[in-house]
Amino acid sequence: MPADPLHRAGTPQRSTTSQPPSGSGASAIEVRRSDRRRRTVSAYREGDRTVVLIPARMSEAEEQRWVTVMLDKLAAQESKRMLGDDALAERARRLSAQYFEGRARPASVRWVTNQNTRWGSCTPSEGSIRLSHRLQGMPEYVIDYVLLHELAHLLVPGHGPRFWRLLEAYPRTERARGYLEGVVAAERLPHLPVAHEE
């Protein structure tokens, strides 16, 4: 089912409002069902609310899945627009304060274009953290996880039990890891021709 986050057409049949998952960046989610909408799902921000438009025939399970997908898409668009190196460094400082009591203090945090096999890297002796440009446009919680992973290396160099205990504090660790594993798996799939709707 194609997703069109900019399309807002369709008269709502039923509208529901709920609280978003933590970290989504919006205070409420409004789902609007429309009889006119057949196949597309779209979403947009309206103040501090996220509006998700779906076909009326969708099941509750499909609705929940598409709300998550569209929240991730919006977050990815927003993070791509706003995160330069300075914002990335500021985000790292906030994450360190929130999850590591401010103990992880990087000297530099920046995007790089020469990391195609790793999402991020850290040189503890220099206090430098580098994130792959391939993360730009991914959901905020994924970028936060990679930043936290590299910040944790400033405190614990290897990937032993102490390292993973540090990351347990971040509630979206498993979801972010799953997202990144999905990206890697999708890159290995053969590219099939896409059928176009008429």
Q: Point out the least confidently predicted range of 75-79, 156-160, 191-195.
A: 191-195
Three-state secondary structure call for residue 110: strand
Of 115, 97, 116, which Cα lies nearest the Cα of 106?
A: 97
Tell me the DSSP string of 63-82. Answer: HHHHHHHHHHHHHHHHHHHH
The residue to which tokens 């509630």 are assigned: 171
Percent of the chain with pLDDT over 90: 44
In whole angstroms, give the CA distance from residue 49 to residue 36.
23
Looking at residue 81, its amino acid is R
Q: 60: which residues sit within 8 A by CB, 6+ positions away?
A: none
Q: What pLDDT digit, counting tens, does each position of 172-185 carry?
A: 999 999 999 988 88
Q: For the whole model, what pTM was predicted?
A: 0.58
Distance of CA 106 to the CA centre of its chain: 22
Q: What is the pLDDT of residue 47?
A: 66
Q: In angstroms, what CA-CA distances link 110 with 27, 42, 79, 122, 153?
A: 30, 32, 14, 11, 16
Q: What pLDDT digit, counting tens, does each position of 94-107 carry?
A: 999 999 999 999 99
- List the beta bridge partners of residue 49: 28, 46
| Of 15 and 51, more confident | 51
Kindly state the DSSP code that residue 4 receives in the 8-state scheme.
Answer: -
Long-range pairs for 56-65: beta carbons < 8 A, 24 or more residues apart:
56/13, 56/14, 58/33, 63/31
CB 106 within 8 Å of CB 92: yes
Band (7; pLDDT cuts 50, 70, 90): very low
Of 79, 63, 59, which Cα lies nearest the Cα of 17?
A: 63
Q: What is the pLDDT of residue 167?
A: 92
Q: What is the pLDDT of residue 100?
A: 96
Q: E strands, 19-132, where?
A: 28-34, 42-46, 49-55, 108-112, 120-123, 128-132
